[in-house]
Structure formats: C-alpha cells, structure tokens
C-alpha cells in the first residue's frame, strides 16, 4: 500500500511540474456583486460590484491558484453633507483540486491565504479624509461543483470561507459564487 501511495505521489508531482513547465493554465475573469457591512454614518449593508481575475496552473487533481478581486462603492448622505468611498482589494494564493464525478459533473476544493486591504475616504463639505487600513492576512477554504452542459459550456457554483479570526467562527466571510464558463477553441 505504501508503494502505491508513493508512486501516486510521484505521478501527481510529475504531472504538476510537467503542466507548469508546459504552461497549462486557466485564466478566468471574475465579475459579481458582494454585500458588505458599512459603519459610517450608521451601521448598514451595501451591495457593490467586484471584478478581477483567477489564474490556475497545474493538473486538475492539484494546481496552484492566484485570484485578485477589487470592489468599489460610493455613498452620499445629503442630510449630513457626507460622501463616502471604499475600495477593497483581495489577493488569494493557494491550491485547487478538481475531481470528476462522472462525465458531466466535477467537484473542486480550494485552500490558501488571502491578503485584504481597504481604503476608505470621507468627504465632508469638500474636505476629504483618506484612511488606508493595514493589510490583513487570513486563511481560506472552499468547495464547489461544475456541471458541464456540452463541450463548450459549464455551470459553476461554490462557497469559500475566509477565516477572519480563527478559531472564532462568527467573524468569517462567506463568499458564495454562481457562474458559467464558455470555452473558446
């Protein structure tokens, strides 16, 4: 049994190195919305557009991934003469594994670390105050499903949890995703 595990490990490492050296990778654009909690001027939630890219390199069973997203929003509070702007940047670096569960369905798991930075600007009566929060580092883990609908079209759904204050589980960020992939020849 140990020899089988050892041989399988060498095979997967060889396949990953071979894929990395041949440049077998996937580049995926990311577009979506996220809901964030805002504290100024009073606690409330806000939806904002996010965009970015994800790149993975390797073989389906084990590949490296890097993902960058940016979210921006602006709000205006005329009664207090206040305008706010937030810009949030996230960089995830980790590993991804995909396993086929049939000819049309596959599952994936991902794990790694996220760097998060937020820049907040308040403008009161024409005077702007800019607050750049220090970069925060957190681990993440996630899973999802891909359903292939033909040769060129795939539906995707997943959930990624960013552990903000591990092991306290009440402060996690939950990032649910749903989307599709169109492959070009």
Distance CA 57, CA 179 (A): 20
**CB 83: neighbour CB atoms within 10 A?**
17
The tally of domains found in the chain comes to 1
Between the CA of residue 9 and those of 3, 13, 22, 106, 185, what are the distances in Å? 10, 6, 20, 21, 32
User: Which range marks the domain in which residue 122 is found?
Assistant: 26-182
- Please state the pTM of the whole predicted model: 0.78
Do you know the residue count of the chain?
A: 185
Q: Is residue 11 part of a domain?
A: no
pLDDT digits (tens, 9 = 90+) for 146-178: 999 988 899 999 999 999 887 788 889 888 888
Q: Percentage of the chain surpassing pLDDT 90?
A: 51
Residue 141 half-sphere exposure toward CB, CA atoms < 13 A: 2
DSSP-derived secondary structure letter, 78: G
Q: Is residue 13 part of a domain?
A: no
Least trusted range by pLDDT, from 25-34, 66-75, 94-103, 129-138: 25-34
The answer to whether 52 and 68 are in contact (CB under 8 A) is yes
CATH number at residue 122: 2.40.160.20
pLDDT digits (tens, 9 = 90+) for 38-91: 777 778 888 888 899 999 999 999 999 999 999 999 998 888 889 999 999 999
């Amino acid at each position: 049994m140990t020899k089988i595990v050892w041989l399988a490990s060498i095979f997967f490492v060889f396949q990953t190195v071979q894929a990395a050296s041949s440049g077998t990778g996937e580049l995926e654009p990311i577009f979506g919305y996220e809901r964030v909690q805002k504290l100024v001027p009073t606690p409330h939630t806000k939806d904002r557009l996010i965009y970015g890219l994800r790149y993975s390199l390797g073989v389906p069973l084990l590949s490296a991934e890097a993902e960058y997203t940016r979210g921006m929003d602006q709000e205006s509070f005329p009664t207090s003469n206040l305008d706010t702007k937030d810009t949030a940047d996230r960089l995830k670096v980790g590993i991804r594994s995909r396993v086929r569960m049939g000819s049309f369905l596959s599952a994936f798991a991902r794990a790694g670390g996220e760097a998060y930075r937020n820049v907040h600007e308040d403008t009161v009566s024409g005077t702007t105050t800019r607050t750049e929060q220090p970069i925060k580092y957190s681990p993440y883990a996630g899973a999802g499903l891909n359903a292939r609908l033909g040769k060129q079209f795939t539906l995707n759904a997943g959930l990624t949890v960013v552990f903000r204050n591990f092991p306290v589980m009440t402060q996690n960020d939950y990032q649910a995703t749903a989307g599709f992939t169109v492959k070009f020849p």
